[in-house]
Amino acid sequence: MNIDYPIALCTATVIAATPLVFAALGELIAERAGVLNLGVEGMMLAGALAAFAASVTSGSLLLGFIAAALAGCVLSLLFGLLTLRLGTNQVATGLALTLFGSGLSACLGRSYASLPGNALPPLHLPLLSDIPVLGPLLFRYDAAVYVALLLVALVSWTLFRTRLGLVLRAVGESPRIADALGHPVNALRWGAVACGGMLAGIGGAYLSTAVTPMWAEGISAGRGWIALALVVFAIWKPWRVLFGAWLFGGMTVLQLHAQALGIAVPGEFLSMLPYLATILVLVLICRDPRLLRLNQPASLGRVFQRER
Amino acid sequence: MTATPPSTTSNPAAARLKLAGISRRYGDIQANADIDLAIMPGEIHALLGENGSGKSTLSRIICGITRPDAGSIEWNGAAVSFAHAAAARELGIGMVFQHFALFESLTVAENIALALPRAAAGELAARIAGVSRRYGLPLDPRQQVASLSAGERQRVEIVRCLLGEPRLLVLDEPTSVLSPAAIEALFTTLRQLAAEGVSILFISHKLDEVRALCDRATVLRAGRVTGEADPKSTTSAALLRLMLGEDPAPCLLTAREPGATRLELRGFSLAADDPFGTSLQDIDLQLRAGEILGLAGISGNGQRELVAALSGERRGGGGSLSIDGAPCAQLPVAARRALGFALVPEERLGRGAVPAMSLADNALLTGARHGLARAGFIDGVAMRARARDIIERWGVRGGGPNALASQLSGGNLQKFIVGREVGLAPRVLVVSQPTWGVDAGAAQQIRQRLIDLRDAGCAILVISEDLDELFQVSDRIAVINRGRISIAQSAATTSLQQLGQLMSAGAFAHA
Amino acid sequence: MLELPFHVVRRTAPSLAARAAAPLLAGVAMALTLLACFAALRLPPLQSLYTIFIEPLASAYGIGEWLLKSTPLMLCALGLALGFRANVWNIGAEGQLTMGAIAGGGVALYMAPLLGPWGMPAMLLAGMLGGMLWAAIPALLRTRFHTSEILTSLMLVYVAQLLLAWLMHGRWQDPAGFNFPQSRAFDDALILPLLADGQRATIALYGALGLAVIAWIFIRRSLAGYAMLVAGMAPAAARYAGFAENRSIWWGMLISGATAGLAGIAEVAGPIGRLQTSISPGYGFAAIIVAFVGRLHPVGVVFAALLMSLLYLGGEAAQLTLGLPAAVTGVFQGLLLFYLLAADHFTGLRIVRRPARGLA
C-alpha cells in the first residue's frame, strides 16, 4: 500500500472530527457553568444551514461561518431565556430546542437542498505544506481545523489558568456559593450558553462547507448527540475532547473506507459504528462513579434562581 | 441599584452598623419582624436566639445576600442598601457561614481568590501566609478543600474574610462544627481582631460561649428582638427567658435497666462511596432495648455514612451488623424495616419527606407495610387517617393531611417525621439531629417523646452535635471521630471535657 | 430602583387549575405565532389556520386520520410519561418503536402461519417484547454502569433504524417487490381491524385508551406507581423509604419500551401493512412533547396526543395546500414545547402586594 493512503485516512479523520471538536467544546463551556444544553443537534443544524445559505448567497465562506455562529447563538439564547430566566427544566428545554432547530432548518433549507455549495479551501503554507509526508499530514488543512486546535488550547487555558475560568468552574460547582460571594452567576451562565451555541453553530457550518459541502435535511446525523457524549467522555477537560473527537472521526472514516480496506460487513452495520462506539465509550467512563463525581460540575442541569 | 458609598469621614460616635425596622417574610413565615440592631466599632456583639428565631435570615440581610422587605441599614452613619453580596463586601462586611461556603473541588488558594478582587497568584500566596501567621490560622493554600477537616475549613473561611480587610465580621454559629480546643483558638483570634477595631457579630444559640466572648447581646425570638443585654452581667436564667419565652419543662429521664441487645455492630467497617466522604473503621456498638445511646461528634466524622449503613441505604461492609441477632449488613432497606428498624434522617426535605407531596402521601413513605397499602395497592382513606392522627398527636401546625411537606416550617415537619416513625412502633430507632432548626418548645416535646418510647422498650440511637441535648436524653454516650466510635460511657459519669477530648483527638487508641 | 407596589412570588403548590391552564396558554400562544407566521408569508392568516387545522377534520376520513395518528403518539407517550415521572429520561422511544415493528413484523412474516388464530396476539406480544428489549439496554447500562439513559437510548434509535434498513435491503426484502426496500405485505388475518369503514384508524386506538386507564390506576392507586413518583421527585427519600432506585429505572424503561414497541407493530400491522424502511414520522420523539403537554398524566396524554396529531395533519395540509415544507411539523412541535415550559413558569407564579415600606 502506498503511503498516500494512510495519510488520506488520517487527514479525513481530522476533518471528520473537527465539527465534533467545535460542538463539544461549546457544550463543555456551558456544562462547566452548570448548564446542560441538549439542543446541540438543533443548533448544529441551524448553523449548517446558515453557513451554507450565507456562503452560497454572498460567496463568502467567512460570512457563512459568522452567520452560523449567529444562528447557533440565537437558538442558545432562546434556550437561555427559558432555562436561566424562567427556570424551566434543562433536559426538556434542550430536547425542544433540538426538535425546533431540526424542523426549522429543514423548513427554511428546502430551497438550498439541490444547490452546489462552496467548499472550504485547504491552506497552502509556503515550505511547510511541501514537506514530504508531514506536509500533507499536518499542514494542508483548511483554516477551520487550525482554529479548532487553537480553540481547544484557548478554552483549556482560560478554564484552568485565568480568573474567568476559575469563576466559571466555581459557578458550575455551586451557583449558590458563587452568588453569595458576589459573582454574577446568571451573567456567566448566559455567556457560557451563548458560547456553546456559537460553537455548535460553527461545528454545523464546518459540516456543510467542508465535510460534505452541501445542504441536506438532518445533515448532522446525530453528531450533536455524539458531541454531548464526548463531553462526558472527556470528563469536562478540553484536551480530552480533541482526542475523543479524533476517535469518532476515525470511526466515521473507517466506515467510509471499509470497502477499500477489504472489510466485508454490510454498510448499515458500519454506519452503526459511531453510535455503538458512543455507547461503549460512555459506559467505560461512567462505570466509575467516583471519576464522574470528581470531575462533573456539581450543579450540572440544576435550576438556579437567585433569591431576592 | 448600587451600594451608596460610605461617608469618607467616619463619625467615631456612630455605630459601625445600624439596622432599623428590618423585616423579611418567606411565604407564610415572618422570618424577621421590625428588627433594630446597632454594632459599635471594636465591639463583639452577640446575636442570640434559638434555632429558627431568624438569626440566619438577619445575617444574610446584613451580608447583602437577601433583601429585606422593609427597614433601613446604616453603615458608619450613612444609609446604604445592597444590590448584591459584593456591595456589602466592598463596604467591609465579611461573613463566615454556618454551613461552609467553600467549593469542594477547588484548592484553598482558589477558594480565597474567588472571594477577593483580582490579585496576582504570587502576591495572594504571600498575603495568605501573612494573615495565617498574624492570627495563628495555619493553612496550606495548595490543598483541595474536599480533603480538609471542619476546623480547617473554617480557618479558610476566616482567612478569606480577613484578606478582604473587613470592618465588620459576621460569624453564623461558628462553633457548631468545632472541637472545644478549636473554639478557644477561634475566640483568641476574634478578641485580637476586636482589639484592632474590627466589629464582630457573633451569631449563636450557646449561652456559655456568648457569655465568655461577647460585650453585648441582642436576643431574638420568633423573628423579633426580645431584648438587649450585657451577657457578662446578666444571669443565664434571664437570657434564657429572653430566648425561649417561658421556661420549658426539662425532660424526665429516669434510670432504667436496659433489656436485650437489639442492634449490634462488631468490627464493622465500610469504605466511603464518595471521594468527599468518611470511611467507617472497625466500629463496635451495642444498642439495647429500653435505652437511648447518644452519639456525639463534629459533623463530617462519619455520621452520615453510619446512618446510611444502619438503615441499609448503603449495604455491605466488613465485620458484622445485626438487628435482634439477625445479620443484616447485606439486607436492603425494606428488609431492615421489616425487622423493626426505623429512622429519622438529618435531611427532612428530600429524604425524610418528599417536599412536593402532601402529608398524607408522606405518611405512606414508610407506612406501606403498616396498613397503608394492601397487595400492592394504596389505601387512600387509611393514609389520610394516619396523617391526621400524627398531626393531632404531635400538634403539627401548618395544615391538614393535604398540606405539602414543603409548606410546613422545619419544626412542624420534624414533628411530623418523628411522629410518623415513632408511630410505626419500631424495635430500633435511629434519630439524626432530632432538633436541628426546631424551636425550643417543639425540641423539648420531641426529646420527651423519644424518652417515652425508650421507656416503652425501644432501642434508640440519637446522633447529635448538640452535647446539651445528648446529656438530656442519653443513658450512655459515645463519640464518633474520623469514622471510629469510642466506647460508650454512662452519661451520668461522663463530663463535657471528656467528650471534647474524644471529639478532637487525632484518632482513638482502640481499647 | 423603581419599586412596584406588588411583586411576583413562586406558588408553593401550583393549583390544579394552574396546571391545566399552562397547556391552554401554550396552545393560544402557538395559534398566535402561527397567525403571525402566515401574515409574514403573505398568506391570509385566519383562513390558513382554518385550512390546515379545521378542514382536515371535515370528513369522516379526516377524523379517521386524526385518530390514526393519535394512536401511536398516545401509546408512546403513556409509557414515557410514567418514566419521566420517575426521572427516567427515555428519549429513544422512536428506536423502541422501530424494534417493536421489527420483532412483531418478523413474527408476522415468518411465524404467524404456524400459529393459526394465535398469530395476531403473538405478533403484538413480539412487538411489545421487541420494544422492551431495546429499552432494557439503556436500563441495564444505567443501573449497572451509571450511564445516562438520555444518550444511550437516543444512540439506539439510529442503530434500530439502520438495522431495519439492513433487513429491508436484504434478508426480509420482498423478492417480488421490484427491489423496493420493503417486506412482502402481511397476511390479511394479521392486519388490525379498522374502527369503521371508509377511514384508516384501527382498533389499536381502543388499546391505547385502555392503557391510559391502566396507567391512571397504576399511578394513582398502586404502590409501585407511588414509589416511582417518589424516586422522581426526591431520590434520597426513595432510598430512605426502601424503594429501590434501580427498580423504578427498570420499570420506567421497560414500560415505555413496551408501549413504544406496541405502537410500532400497530403501525406496521395497521395502516402500513408491511415492514418498510420508514415506518414513523418521528412519533417517538413527538411523544416526548405529548407526555409533557399532557402533564405526565394519562388523561392529559390522551388529549395532548389528539392535539399533536392535529399538528401532524396540519403539517401535511400546509404542505399540500399552502406549499410549506413537511418539516414545518417539527417547528410546530418544538414551539409547542417551548410555550408549554414557559407557560408553566408563569402559571406557577402569583402576584402579591408588597408590604408597605418601612423607614427609608
Residue A16 CA to residue A277 CA, distance in Å, equals 15
CB-closest option in B89, B102, B276 to A182 = B89
Q: What is the pLDDT of residue A53?
A: 94
Give the gap in angstroms from C-alpha B149 to the nearest C-alpha of chain A: 18
Q: Is C9 on the interface with A (CB under 8 A)?
A: no
Give the rounded distance of the alpha carbon of A108 from its chain centre.
22
To the nearest whole number, what is the mean pLDDT of chain C? 86
Residues of chain A positioned with their CB less than 8 A from the CB of B65: 179-180, 307
Residues of chain C positioned with their CB less than 8 A from the CB of B1: 1
Total length of chain B: 511
Residues of chain B positioned with their CB less than 8 A from the CB of A170: 103, 106, 110, 114
Check C234 against B72: CB less than 8 A apart. no
Residue B115 scores a pLDDT above 90: no
Check C1 against B1: CB less than 8 A apart. yes
> Residues A178, A185: contact at Cβ < 8 Å?
yes
> Residues A241, A231: contact at Cβ < 8 Å?
yes
The residues with which B478 forms a beta bridge, in sequence order, are: B295
> Which run of H or E residues covers position B70?
strand B70-75
Residues of chain B positioned with their CB less than 8 A from the CB of A161: none
| pLDDT tens digits along A234-286 | 999 999 999 999 999 988 888 888 777 777 788 888 889 889 999 998 999 88
| pLDDT tens digits along A22-74 | 999 999 999 999 999 999 999 999 999 999 999 999 989 999 999 999 999 99
User: Which site among A164, A169, A181 would you substitute to test the B interface, given the most B Cβ atoms closer than 10 Å to its Cβ?
Assistant: A181
Closest chain A residue to B111, measured at CA: A170
Hey, how many other C-beta atoms are within 10 angstroms of the C-beta on C319? 16
Q: Average pLDDT in the C342-353 region?
A: 63
Closest chain C residue to A287, measured at CA: C145
Q: Chain C window 332-351: which residues touch A at a Cβ cutoff of 8 Å? A: 332-335, 337-338, 341-342, 344-346
Q: Average pLDDT in the A127-146 region?
A: 82
Closest chain C residue to A229, measured at CA: C151
Residue C326 scores a pLDDT above 80: no
Residue B305 CA to residue B271 CA, distance in Å, equals 9
User: Which site among C9, C98, C158, C168 would you substitute to test the A interface, given the most A Cβ atoms closer than 10 Å to its Cβ?
Assistant: C158
Residue in the block written with cell 467507617:
B280
Residues of chain C positioned with their CB less than 8 A from the CB of A289: 146
Contacts of B6-10 spanning 24+ positions with Cβ under 8 A: B6/B75, B6/B76, B6/B78, B6/B80, B6/B91, B7/B76, B7/B77, B7/B78, B10/B76, B10/B77
To the nearest whole number, what is the mean pLDDT of chain B? 85
More confident residue, B9 or C150: C150
Q: Average pLDDT in the B108-119 region?
A: 84
Give the gap in angstroms from C-alpha A286 to the nearest C-alpha of chain C: 5
* pLDDT band at C6; cut points 50, 70, 90: very low
Q: Is A306 on the interface with B (CB under 8 A)?
A: no
Q: What is the pLDDT of residue B246?
A: 64
Whole-prediction pTM: 0.85
Closest chain B residue to C360, measured at CA: B72
Residue C138 CA to residue C1 CA, distance in Å, equals 52
Residue B95 scores a pLDDT above 70: yes
The grid cell for A203 is 461545528
Q: Average pLDDT in the B383-402 region?
A: 89
Residue A83 CA to residue A65 CA, distance in Å, equals 27
* pLDDT band at B98; cut points 50, 70, 90: low
Q: What is the pLDDT of residue A288?
A: 83
Give the gap in angstroms from C-alpha C12 to the nearest C-alpha of chain B: 7
Percent over 90 (pLDDT), chain B: 39
Q: Average pLDDT in the B38-66 region?
A: 87
Q: What is the pLDDT of residue B8?
A: 39
Q: Chain C window 16-45: which residues touch B at a Cβ cutoff of 8 Å? A: none
Residue B10 scores a pLDDT above 60: no
Give how far Cα A19 sits from Cα of A124, A145, A199, A219, B19, Å. 21, 9, 9, 12, 57
Q: For residue C311, give the nearest of C24, C34, C22, C20 by alpha carbon.
A: C34
Show the CA angle centred on residue A104, arms to residues A102 and A109, nearest 5°: 95
* pLDDT band at C291; cut points 50, 70, 90: very high
Cα-flanking dihedrals φ and ψ of residue A60, to 5°? -110, 120
Q: What is the pLDDT of residue A279?
A: 93
Identity of the residue numbered C190: L
Check B79 against C233: CB less than 8 A apart. no
Q: What is the pLDDT of residue B13?
A: 66
Non-local CB neighbours of B73 within 8 Å, separated by 6+ positions: B17, B18, B19, B20, B22, B61, B62, B79, B80, B81, B82
Question: How many CA atoms does the CB half-sphere of B495 hold within 13 Å?
Answer: 4
The grid cell for A89 is 427544566
| pLDDT tens digits along C233-253 | 888 999 999 998 888 899 999
Residues of chain A positioned with their CB less than 8 A from the CB of C345: 86-88
Q: What is the pLDDT of residue B20?
A: 92
> Residues C247, B332: contact at Cβ < 8 Å?
no
Hey, how many other C-beta atoms are within 10 angstroms of the C-beta on C111? 14
Residue B272 scores a pLDDT above 90: no
Q: Average pLDDT in the C330-355 region?
A: 72
Q: What is the pLDDT of residue B320?
A: 92
Non-local CB neighbours of B170 within 8 Å, separated by 6+ positions: B59, B62, B63, B93, B94, B95, B96, B200, B201, B203
DSSP-derived secondary structure letter, B423 = T
Residue C154 scores a pLDDT above 80: yes
Q: Which of B242-251, B316-325, C35-44 has the least mean pLDDT?
A: B242-251
Q: Chain B window 341-400: which residues touch A at a Cβ cutoff of 8 Å? A: none
Cα-flanking dihedrals φ and ψ of residue C351, to 5°? -100, 130
Residues of chain A positioned with their CB less than 8 A from the CB of B63: 180
Q: What is the DSSP string of B86-114?
A: HHHHHHTEEEE-SS----TTSBHHHHHHH
Q: What is the pLDDT of residue B4?
A: 40
The grid cell for C159 is 442503530
Percent over 90 (pLDDT), chain A: 53
Strand B280-288 and strand B261-270: the pairing is antiparallel
> Which run of H or E residues covers position B196?
none
| pLDDT tens digits along B215-232 | 999 998 888 898 898 988
Q: What is the pLDDT of residue B510?
A: 42
Closest chain C residue to B376, measured at CA: C223
Hey, how many other C-beta atoms are within 10 angstroms of the C-beta on C47? 11
**Complex prediction ipTM:** 0.88
CB-closest option in A163, A177, A179 to B103 = A177
